[in-house]
Chains A and B, each alone.
Chain A
Amino acid sequence: MNANTDKDFDFVISKYRKSLYKVAATFESDPDFLQDLHQDILFAIWKAIPGFKNKSSLHTFIYRVAYNQAINHVTKSSKVIHNQNDSNDVDHLINNNISEPDHYTSLQLEGQMLIAMIRQLPIVKRQLITLSLEGFSYKEIAEISGLKLNNVAVQLTRTKQQLRKILENEYAK
């Protein structure tokens, strides 16, 4: 790895490490496997950076590689459907901590709950919603996911509705 690539990777780590951690968390609930997946994603990016040809922005390139690695992880470990566990995760968070008065903890909890709810969605929808939460435009989401632009809009609207329904159901319990 040359100095430039190393510098690029330093930049990626400092700018994207936290976002990529959240992406990994939407694919893996187990803390140990989550750390592994996060590391796998960064490792895949490190290996892929020398092949980056400026055809797309570095921003979309990073997420493309990250999602490819996450898809690899989730399909290889046969975890496409694990809604039951994640639904339990949300229940656990609500039942045990929702009345926590501390503002910081409550923010943390809301974030954890959001991730646990996203994990209940099918993989493609998980990708769309997290990219949208990261502030990507429809065009960029289409570029990363491979979906057609109009399909992104349709799927994203449905996903938002589905997420709202999950949110309502969890609080109604």
Chain B
Amino acid sequence: MQNNKNTWNDLVSNWTQMDGDIMNDSNQIKNLKEQLKNRKTSNAIELFLGLIFASALSGYIIYEIVSGLPSVMDYTLYSGVLTIILISALVLVSMKSKRLKGKAENSLDYINLLYKQALVTQMILKVSKYACVSLFLLCYGIIIWVFFLWLPSDHVIARPIMALILVSFVSVFFPSLYFWIKAQQTKNHNYIQQLKMLINDITV
């Protein structure tokens, strides 16, 4: 017992003595504070610019919708883009939200909070994946409708070139987005597993 106590006391003394090894340079502390201040400023700037951009873009889209669009297809497309912008703005705000770490009462609370957030993220990613496939099909539908049914047939050269450019863009953009979302889903799934393990460790 005495031996155990000595070992523990040795560990405590090693732990405490380490403080002497960590630099106590006042310049280093000053630099650290400067870095933290810069980080806070750049975070605020990122949030501000992001929100300005989202507001300007969504304002423009709402203005276009209110002014009137030529077809139902346009309304669908504009509403889709508006939804994506608003969701991105919400994600940005929640990512930069303050004091989350201080709000949780303890580590278990915090891990549970992260777990719930990760589950919501997984759900959003799942919906986004379906939305991506739907938008992909919708874009193809619009291209076919515009170029083969709606556009007058006298645009002999412009029609196939424009159609080719749009088809190429849609064929690259949406599959890339789909696979990126899928990769995020796998990453988030692993993250959920890590959190589950931690919750089990604490509650068992």
The residues of A with any CB-CB pair to B shorter than 8 Å are 1, 13-14, 17-19, 21-22, 39, 42-44, 46-52, 61, 64-65, 67-69, 71-72, 75-76, 78, 80, 107-108, 110-111, 114-115, 122-125, 127, 133-135, 143-147, 160, 163-164, 167
Bound together, the chains give a CA A72 to CA B32 distance in angstroms of 21
Further pairs besides A43-B39, A145-B108: 4, Cβ < 8 Å: A49-B102, A64-B107, A127-B107, A133-B11
Residues of chain B within 8 A (CB-CB) of A48 are 99, 101-102
Stretch from B146-154, B158-166, B194-202 at the A interface: B194-202
What 1/0 mask marks residues of chain B from 30 to 46 whose CB sits below 8 Å from any chain A CB? 00110110011000000
**A interface footprint on B11-39 (CB within 8 Å = 1, 0 otherwise):** 11011011111101000010011011001
CA distance A123 to B195 in the complex (A): 11
Cβ-closest chain B residue relative to A60: B106
Q: Tell me whether chain B's interface is mostly helix, strand or loop, or mixed.
A: helix
Query: Size class of B's contact patch?
Result: 35 or more
Nearest CB of chain A from residue B8's CB, rounded to whole Å: 6
User: How many A-B contacts if CB must be within 8 Å?
Assistant: 133
From known contacts A39-B32, A39-B35, A111-B21, infer whether A68 and B110 are also in contact, taking CB-CB under 8 Å: yes
Closest 9 CB pairs of A and B: A146-B108, A48-B102, A146-B106, A111-B18, A68-B101, A133-B15, A51-B99, A68-B110, A124-B201
The answer to whether B102 and A47 touch across the interface, beta carbons within 8 angstroms, is: yes
Contacts A71-B198, A75-B198 given: A146-B109 contact, CB under 8 Å?
A: yes
Q: Name B's A-contacting residues (CB within 8 A).
A: 4, 7-8, 11-12, 14-15, 17-22, 24, 29, 32-33, 35-36, 39-40, 98-99, 101-111, 114, 190-191, 194-195, 197-198, 201-202
